[in-house]
Structure 1
Amino acid sequence: MERRVVITGLGVVAPNGVGLEDFKSALKEGRSGIQFDQQLADLQFSCQVSGTPPIDKDHLKKYFTDLELRNFNSTGIMYGVIAGLDAWKDAGLEISDGENPDWDSGTIFGTGTSGIEKFRESIYKIDALQTRKLGSTAVSQTMNSGISAYLGGKLGLGNQVTTNSSACTTGTESILMAFDRIKSGKAKRILAGSTSDSGPYIWAGFDAIKVCNFKSNDHPEKASRPMSASAAGFVPGSGAGALVIEDLESALARNAKIYCEILGGNLNSGGQRDGGSMTAPNSVAVQKCVKDAILESGIEPKDIDYISGHLTATSKDATEIKNLAEALNRSGKNFPYINSLKALTGHCLSGAGSIEAVATILQLTENFIAPNINCEDLNPEITSIIDAECIPQKFLEKELNIAAKVSFGFGDVNGCVIFKKYS
């Protein structure tokens, strides 16, 4: 018997808000977390602004022991552990402290890279013949599965504990992987999410290929401009989002708070064919991904009230809107409301899908749409497809029932997940 799957816990570490309440306030206010980044300026980056979560040492000590923090510099693992533990607590779940792990609970927590600063430190020490000074956590910080391993150990998880990676689609993919595992009865709950390291050694490659905005260094909060005619590239960001995804029966049995239900979704690839490439989407595949997600969810395109777009503030924004309009067969004023969190956070790379999913669920459950900032000059290619009213630029209270989160990543990979208010 296939099970219904719900979300019972949320956690977030974002450039514009750490913790659910701070993040939710930032969404409603349209508050940006993008700031001037002196380190990028010192390193002569073209883009000298970034979205970096404001985490201090006192905050870290709530989640890590002093021993764990010794020689610890993997920001991705830090963000992921904080978001993951917060989501677990938000779901009202206890940490397994018995002799055996919790066989019913696991984690699928994605990342793009892990511990890039630790890699850098290790390279310098090895070259200086100081291999023995690498420390005991060099491996756990730099292996890609480090984030899921840390969460698995801290929570005592005995079900599947793994890390997925599919560029900017990573977070959405982790949600759908967890959904499939629970729906099939292989787990009662999965802590799903994704995280991304921060800093110049992550962002340099994007700066080098000139996809980042270098025209707004003097105006950081105006730098990320999805759907704008003056969009000039994305702003690099980082952070983590986490969701406790659970079997409905299990959630009801423990009287858990339920945010929403996952109806279904889809993952696919354009195979870098028919216009698709390492950096560009195959439009046929994008449209198929959305159509198949709707089909699996048992709804009609007209049922979608709101879309959390991928929308990175590049030339592909108009292509994304066109693909969505064609997949839904909805245009003009008939198109759903849509926004892009990246205007407030920058592009959090492998952490983007899960952070944006948390934002999607908060908007769905509390009936509001966060404002699209920095697009007062809407791209005419976009407004020729959908009406400007579908892109609210001020906080909007709106009854929502079904929302879609879409993600499109390097390598021509796509993801779409459909959320519905629980009833």
Structure 2
Amino acid sequence: MNTRVVITGLGIIAPNASGVADFRDALQEGRSGIRHDAALEALQFSCQIAGTPVVTAEMQSRYFDALELKGFNSSAILYGVLAGMEAWQRAGLTAAVNTDWDSGCIFGTGSSGIDKLREAIYKVDEGQVRRLGSTVVAQTMASGISAWLGGKLGLGNLVTTNSSACITGAESLLMAYDRIRAGKATRILAGSTSDSGPYIWGGFDAMKVCTFKSNDNPATGSRPMSATAAGFVPGAGAGAFVVESLDSALARNAPVCAEILGGHINSGGQRNDGTMTAPNSEAVQRCIREAVREAGISPSDIDAINGHLTATGKDALEIQNWSTALGRSGTDFPYISALKGMTGHCLSASGSVELVAAVLQLQHGFLFPNINCEDLHPDIRAVVDPERIPQQLRYKDLQVIAKASFGFGDVNACVILKKYHANG
């Protein structure tokens, strides 16, 4: 079956902007969403800065009623519902009156309701089980985000939550793509979300993978591809997509943001140089090559890369892996962008947040600035001409973008997106 699959709606809750229009402005401005976090300082974290989305009471009231918000404190579900509902509406869709058997939801997360779970644990330990309330399970179950979205929209097709560390967002998009290509759904609301706060970020601080050198200057703290990168800045948020067949989109005169050409997911099996926290380079390169093959394009067709690039010691290795997989280097290397300089590392939401950025780049023809890498790492400079790593906004007619995510557990995902053209 040669079904063309497109993205017709986007939604975003990010550290530097909430809502697609403001997020596009933030990208083009190079706006940082990384700020000092008083809670992290009070708890004596080494890293006392973070990328936490700003969500107002007015934003919450758009999609949650007063009863739902009573005792509600699951940031992953909050971010995911806000992003998912925005994507659905921007695709020109409304909530179903009766069950919509043709539409589903694949929305991932790494955790759900960590703060709510902590609250519940204390109440249980204090013998206050009867005071837990009736929403603890719905806020903390792993599939909570897809269940909330499925209920708000009346979705009757597959409604599920995937979880694969940092590749969760890219994986959800490819799972939706595969289901639509197989003819098992007309449209899928895909995406991923993440919890925020010290109880989700504490483990990373303990691992010493977060920066501690920019607590007094938060906006400069996340430094992908920089020689002075000192670890990632924790972040959170959600990105969402309405993925559907082109035939469906055309039939209802829906806006088309981009076309999904294909992609690939694999694992390095934690063998060779791969571990729980480090990538197997052979697997990374294989993932990129297979994504290109499955998309039916040539490596030379890729205009730009939206990288994983976490501001750790693995950035140079990622660049080398891209170069080896594509057979491109120097001035022939695609343009490359690292969003985490503005948002920090949004963990299970990172792939979807960065994919929203990649779609906007295609749709509006621009390369957003790579902030905080004015001192490009010498190992990266040896592979890529610095001109291919823009540090200022640049308008460019982009046709194909490759987006990759790499995650704990030695897992990899690569998505190939194309600017939509009605004739193919």
Per the TM superposition, whether the score is higher than 0.5 is: yes
Deviations 1:103-141 (A, max 9, x none): 000000000000000110001000110001111110011
- The CA distance in 1 between the partners of 2:176 and 2:370, in whole Å, is 30
> Which of 398, 406, 409 is residue 408 of structure 1 equivalent to?
406
Deviations 1:153-185 (A, max 9, x none): 000000000000000000000000000000010
Instruction: Mark the runs of 5 or more structure 2 residues left unpaired by the alignment.
Output: none
Corresponding residue number in structure 2 for 1:29: 29
Corresponding residue number in structure 1 for 2:141: 143
- The CA distance in 2 between the partners of 1:342 and 1:133, in whole Å, is 40
The residue type equivalent to 1:107 in the other structure is: C
Q: In the alignment, does 2:243 pair up with 1:213?
A: no
Corresponding residue number in structure 2 for 1:72: 72
Corresponding residue number in structure 2 for 1:302: 300
Q: What's the TM-score once normalised by structure 2's chain length? A: 0.99
**CA contact under 8 A between 1:229 and 1:378: conserved in structure 2?**
yes
- Report the Cα offset of residue 421 of structure 1: 1.0
Q: In the alignment, does 2:9 pair up with 1:9?
A: yes
- Report the Cα offset of residue 30 of structure 1: 0.1
**CA contact under 8 A between 1:2 and 1:184: conserved in structure 2?**
no
**CA contact under 8 A between 1:233 and 1:314: conserved in structure 2?**
yes
- The CA distance in 2 between the partners of 1:74 and 1:36, in whole Å, is 22
Moved over 4 A (4+): none
The residue type equivalent to 2:110 in the other structure is: G
- The CA distance in 1 between the partners of 2:49 and 2:141, in whole Å, is 28
Please give the secondary structure, in 1, of the residue aligned with 2:310: coil
Corresponding residue number in structure 2 for 1:91: 91
Corresponding residue number in structure 1 for 2:181: 183
Please give the secondary structure, in 1, of the residue aligned with 2:62: coil
- The CA distance in 1 between the partners of 2:191 and 2:60, in whole Å, is 19
- Report the Cα offset of residue 3 of structure 1: 1.0
The residue type equivalent to 2:79 in the other structure is: Y
- The CA distance in 2 between the partners of 1:245 and 1:355, in whole Å, is 15
Q: In the alignment, does 2:363 pair up with 1:365?
A: yes
Kindly report which structure 2 residues correspond to 1:146-225, keeping only aligned pairs within 5 A, or say none. Answer: 146-225=144-223
Kindly report which structure 2 residues correspond to 1:216-365, keeping only aligned pairs within 5 A, or say none. Answer: 216-365=214-363
**CA contact under 8 A between 1:106 and 1:158: conserved in structure 2?**
yes
- The CA distance in 1 between the partners of 2:294 and 2:226, in whole Å, is 33
- The CA distance in 2 between the partners of 1:266 and 1:224, in whole Å, is 28
Q: In the alignment, does 2:113 pair up with 1:115?
A: yes
**CA contact under 8 A between 1:2 and 1:185: conserved in structure 2?**
no
Instruction: Mark the runs of 5 or more structure 1 residues left unpaired by the alignment.
Output: none
Corresponding residue number in structure 1 for 2:49: 49
The residue type equivalent to 2:80 in the other structure is: G
The residue type equivalent to 1:173 in the other structure is: E
Corresponding residue number in structure 2 for 1:393: 391
- The CA distance in 2 between the partners of 1:2 and 1:174, in whole Å, is 20
- Percent sequence identity is 65
The residue type equivalent to 2:17 in the other structure is: G
- The CA distance in 1 between the partners of 2:207 and 2:303, in whole Å, is 36
**CA contact under 8 A between 1:111 and 1:350: conserved in structure 2?**
yes
- The CA distance in 2 between the partners of 1:59 and 1:105, in whole Å, is 25
- The CA distance in 2 between the partners of 1:117 and 1:94, in whole Å, is 31
RMSD of the alignment, in Å?
0.5
The count of residues paired between Structure 1 and Structure 2 equals: 421
- The CA distance in 1 between the partners of 2:303 and 2:133, in whole Å, is 51
Please give the secondary structure, in 1, of the residue aligned with 2:63: coil
- Report the Cα offset of residue 58 of structure 1: 2.1
- Report the Cα offset of residue 56 of structure 1: 1.7
- The CA distance in 2 between the partners of 1:178 and 1:344, in whole Å, is 28
Q: In the alignment, does 2:36 pair up with 1:60?
A: no
- Report the Cα offset of residue 404 of structure 1: 0.6
